[in-house]
């Protein structure tokens, strides 16, 4: 006589159609009173019971895999749809393009629960042959965030993407800066163009393009307070940007920059051309008076570069900021002062991002000592 199984041990039966043992157990009930059943199958009774115990353990740990058919593409689509509510439309479009082009096309059909760290490592290594390290890091971040969201919703046990390191990709286009002669030629070539004031202010203040595109006349002071003690020079208040939240990149980026005389002249002329615009109007706009985007700026920038005798595809507006750093460094301005003017939280950012534009100041000690001891000789 067989012994009756105790309550909670579940059932075990042979499925003729599948030719497998099926172990089942009721683990709970839905709010509607329907039983929640977990099943495990195997070629032997022991294998079936082992599979069932794994399912029960997953359920009790709060990691029940109720979406066994979930794919990597499903997780990415869910994240793109619901996980980017605070991002700008441009950022969303950029992320979606990267996801569709580089992740879904390679890993999208893979079942999420079957995705392994080895799969991700191989995918990243293959991409490293064609993409820059920065792009690889972004792709890894996008996939990681999508799988994290899926894990938080009980669609996968763990995030294997977080276990993978990002390899070094192809070397990107190195940053560069204008020489003093090239900078002068560019300023001359910009005269009379729609981008004249923009180029002058960017090159002579080092403000980011995202900051200048959000600048309004309310934050421009073209006269200053010359009779105050001490005098207050003309300035621009870099307090906003075109980012999704309207704030600057960091808290330190929120700064007020004194305007060189050439900037004051260019902005005064620009102000007059706009017909005494209201304070709330953007300083730099398209011919139609709408806000500039990076494509507008690049299109208007390239003819100026060509007129200056430079290679248009080889230069972008962001390199005006690099040139600002380089020209200051060549003139002996300390890295601490340059970091403050650039709105960096510390000199480490300035050194890492603009290392090619900084003069090798460590040599200055030897130069000074030679001068001292030559004088005494």
Determine the CATH number of domain 72-163. Answer: 1.10.150.130
The residue annotated as part of the active site, out of 51, 213, 255, 344, is 344
Token pair of 39 as six digits: 């099943």
State mean pLDDT over 78-97: 87
Whether 249 is catalytic: yes
Whether 354 is catalytic: yes
Per the model's pLDDT, the better-predicted residue between 129 and 154 turns out to be 129
Alpha-carbon gap, residue 69 to 364, rounded angstroms: 65
Mean of per-residue pLDDT scores for the chain: 84
**How would residue 310 be classed by pLDDT, with cut points 50, 70 and 90?**
very high
CA distance readout (Å), 362 to 130, 160, 302, 334, 367: 36, 44, 36, 12, 10
The residue annotated as part of the active site, out of 59, 95, 198, 354, is 354
Per-residue pLDDT of 5-24, as tens digits, reads 555 556 888 888 888 888 88
Residue 63 has pLDDT above 50, yes or no: no
The residue annotated as part of the active site, out of 20, 137, 249, 318, is 249
CB 325 within 8 A of CB 357: yes
Closest CA to 341 of 204, 220, 205: 205
**In the chain, count of helices (H) and strands (E)?**
15, 6
Q: Which pTM does this prediction carry?
A: 0.64
Residue 64 has pLDDT above 70, yes or no: no
Whether 53 is catalytic: no
Whether 322 is catalytic: no
Alpha-carbon gap, residue 180 to 286, rounded angstroms: 29
The residue annotated as part of the active site, out of 127, 140, 208, 270, is 208
CB 159 within 8 A of CB 120: no
The residue annotated as part of the active site, out of 55, 102, 155, 321, is 321
CATH class of 180-362: mainly alpha
Whether 59 is catalytic: no
Taking 3-state DSSP, the helix, strand and coil percentages for the chain, each rounded to the nearest 5, stand at: 50, 10, 40
């Amino acid at each position: 006589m067989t012994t009756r199984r105790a309550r909670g041990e579940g059932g075990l039966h042979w499925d003729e159609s599948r030719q497998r043992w099926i172990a089942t157990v009721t683990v709970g009930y839905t709010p509607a009173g329907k039983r929640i059943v977990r099943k495990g199958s195997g070629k032997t009774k022991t294998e079936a019971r082992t599979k069932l115990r794994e399912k029960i353990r997953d359920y009790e740990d709060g990691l029940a895999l109720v979406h066994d058919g979930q794919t990597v593409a499903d997780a990415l689509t869910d994240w793109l749809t619901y996980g980017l509510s605070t991002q700008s439309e441009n950022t969303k479009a950029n992320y979606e393009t990267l996801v569709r082009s580089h992740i879904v096309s390679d890993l999208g059909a893979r079942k999420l629960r079957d995705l392994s760290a080895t799969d991700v490592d191989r995918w990243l290594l293959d991409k490293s042959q064609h993409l820059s390290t920065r792009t690889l890091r972004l792709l890894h971040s996008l996939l990681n965030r999508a799988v994290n969201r899926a894990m938080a919703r009980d669609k996968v046990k763990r995030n294997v993407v977080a276990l993978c390191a990002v390899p070094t990709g192809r070397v990107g286009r190195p940053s560069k800066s204008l020489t003093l002669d090239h900078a002068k030629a560019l300023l001359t070539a910009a005269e009379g163009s729609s981008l004249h004031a923009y180029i002058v202010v960017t090159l002579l203040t080092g403000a980011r393009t995202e900051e200048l595109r959000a600048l309004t006349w309310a934050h421009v002071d073209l006269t200053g307070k010359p009779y105050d003690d001490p005098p207050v020079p003309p300035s621009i208040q870099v307090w906003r940007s075109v980012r999704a939240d309207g704030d600057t990149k960091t808290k330190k980026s929120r700064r007020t920059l004194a305007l060189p005389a050439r900037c004051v002249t260019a902005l005064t002329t620009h102000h007059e051309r706009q017909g005494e615009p209201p304070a709330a109007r953007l300083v730099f706009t398209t011919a139609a008076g709408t806000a500039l985007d990076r494509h507008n700026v690049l299109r208007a920038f390239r003819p100026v570069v060509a007129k200056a005798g430079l290679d248009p595809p080889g230069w972008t507006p962001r390199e005006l900021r690099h040139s600002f750093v380089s020209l200051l460094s060549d003139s002996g301005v300390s890295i601490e002062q340059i970091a403050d003017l650039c709105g960096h939280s510390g000199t480490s950012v300035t050194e890492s991002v603009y290392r090619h534009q900084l003069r090798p100041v460590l040599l200055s000690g030897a130069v000074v000592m030679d001068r001292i001891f030559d004088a005494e000789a």
